[in-house]
Amino acid sequence: MSSGGRLTQLWQRSRQFGAMLVGVPDYDAYVAHMQLKHPELTPMTREQFVRSRMEARLGAKTPGKCPC
């Protein structure tokens, strides 16, 4: 892997980690998970995903429910 590729990968991982620390959901990771683990299901839209993560963080009506 070139140094530019490694730097890009490091930046992406750092961005994901920072977002996780402040509670920003990673929609792209969710979609990749759904395609890999649940290909028969249709992923939520970005808006639905963000809303579900906010509800889970701030007190969901269905506590403990996975968004997938």
Domain residue limits, the chain: 25-68
Percent of the chain with pLDDT over 70: 79
Q: Encode pLDDT of 19-40 as tens digits.
A: 777 666 788 889 999 999 999 9
Q: What is the pTM of this model?
A: 0.56
CA-to-CA distance for 21 and 45, rounded, in angstroms? Answer: 23
The average pLDDT across 3-17 equals 84
Q: Are 67 and 44 in contact (CB under 8 A)?
A: yes
